[in-house]
A and B are shown apart, each in its own frame.
Chain A
Amino acid sequence: MGPHGRDFAAAAARGQVAIRVRQGANVAKLTLAIANKNYSSWSLRAWMAMRQLAIPFEENVIPLDTPETARQIAKHSGAGRLPVLHHGDVTVWESLAILEYLAEIFPDTPMWPRSRRVRAMARAVANEMHAGFLALRNACPMNLRRPRKPLTGGLGSDVRANVARIEAIWRECRKLHGRGGPFLFGKFSIADAMYAPVASRFETYAIEVAPESRAYMEAIFATGSFRAWKQDAMNEEWVIPADEVD
């Protein structure tokens, strides 16, 4: 990122500057196909990182759970999954693979921490999120429009264990590497994008967390990218009954 990169990212996140067009090898347009913003936690990750780090792209929202969904997704990806990123003739799916791809093609954008040691930890926690915490994800689907209140019937012990582990990860990252800012590794990185949906679940389901976890969640919610995403979600009209839990 150039000398003004940080200012640019901040201003772009506030919607105050036009998107900078990068010339050269990466000039092919990036298109991100995503699902409903209210529910799609996987889509949020890729979208948030791109928006927050001022990577220019076009979005294409494909609503889930409609008669057209499967056919529309199939147009984008043989994997039958969203999100999918198109870049020229390259197609990448899986949120974490998309973010690794972008980290490669935008080496000047600080998507991962710069130090190899810190980057290794950021990748480890991002991967733990990518593959884990199924109990929490199943019990508390991301649902940005749901009024904030505890899950009726409370949290099972497996969900509580997930919450405790996530809080321990946040605490450890912030303690070891969080000096340069309010995010897990100080400045915003892919790791924060990976955990943003979990932060939204803690909020939606009024899950009690430690003050330092609360502060981290507030930092996520205050980003321009998260606020823009949430605003879009509020304006969606699609409802997925399976993800509406009391």
Chain B
Amino acid sequence: MAEFHLFIGNKCFSSWSLRPWLALKHIGAPFDETVIRLRQPDTRANIRALARSEKVPCLHHGRRVVWESLSILEYLAELFPDSHLWPRDRGARADARSLAAEMHSGFTELRNAWSMNLRRKKAPKLLDGAAQDQAKRIEDYWRRMRAAHGQGGPFLFGAFTAADAMYAPVVTRFDTYGGTLAPETRAYCDAILATDGMRQWYTEAAAEPWPEPNPDE
């Protein structure tokens, strides 16, 4: 039994689950995982019984139970200071935390319009209104962070951080629905999609035995 145990939802569409899973992969800490099938009549009961929580993702560490993707990332950042889940520079760290918090609570229209679905065939799906503004703002953040802090690596703050983990699901959405992307956006998406963690996640998502999500939804 590994020191950590992460409870997550279906890899095909649980965007919240991807974030802490990717961070644990980045840290390299061994962990057990339990995938709890979402959208079933007994989903909530299973989450309560297995994860002792109201939601997934949920991390068990000994007797500790930590839920909410961003608080799991903060917890891991404290436990593994050498993995530098937050950037070392204070100003960069402030940017990273702001971006992560905004992703955690915002961009609702975009998330609804482009729901994460790793089974969906890549094809452009146009956005309008608030969702379109949000996609633009995300691309603007990526561009600004890469320009200000991105020397040293292909990620938002150079090396991989918790901010990249928070934006990884939206990367899959740009890849699935975004059509031809601006060159900087494409480069950042490709950097995320090329990580070992993302490749493994996609492989395991493709192998999921359950019918949901429908490839067209």
Contact = CB atoms under 8 A, between A and B. Distances in A.
Interface stretch (A48-56, A86-94, A152-160): A86-94
Contact of A130 (B95, B98, B105): B105
B102 A79 contact: yes
B144 interface: yes
B68 A94 contact: no
B118 to A, nearest CB: 22
B91 A97 contact: no
A104 B92 CA distance: 13
Interface residues of B, number: 28
Interface string B149-181: 000000000000000000000000000000000
Nearest to A87: B94
Interface in A116-141: 116-117, 119-121, 123-124, 126-128, 130-131, 134
B104 interface: yes
Given A89-B91, A101-B97, A127 B104 contact: yes
A127 B71 contact: yes
A62 to B, nearest CB: 18
Given A120-B64, A123-B74, A123-B75, A131 B105 contact: yes
B68 A97 contact: no
Given A120-B64, A121-B65, A130-B101, 16 more contacts: A78-B140, A79-B137, A90-B90, A92-B97, A94-B102, A101-B93, A104-B90, A104-B93, A123-B74, A124-B66, A124-B67, A126-B71, A127-B68, A127-B69, A128-B67, A130-B105
Interface of B: 54, 64-71, 74-75, 78, 90-91, 93-95, 97-98, 100-102, 104-105, 108, 137, 140, 144
Contacts of A81: 102
Most buried by A among B104, B108, B137: B104
A90 B90 CA distance: 8
A96 interface: yes
Contacts of B71: 120, 123-124, 126-127
B60 to A, nearest CB: 11
Nearest to B90: A90
Contacts of A123: 66, 68, 70-71, 74-75
B144 A101 contact: no
Majority SS at the chain A contact face:
helix
Interface in A38-75: none
Nearest to B92: A90
B105 A120 contact: no
Given A90-B91, A97-B94, A124 B54 contact: no
Contact of A131 (B98, B104, B144): B104
A14 interface: no
Contacts of A97: 94, 97-98, 100-102
Nearest to B68: A127
A131 B94 contact: no
A212 interface: no
B66 A120 contact: yes
Nearest to A128: B68
B35 to A, nearest CB: 21
Contacts of B74: 100, 123
A94 B95 CA distance: 10
Nearest to A85: B94
A96 B68 contact: no
Contacts of A126: 71
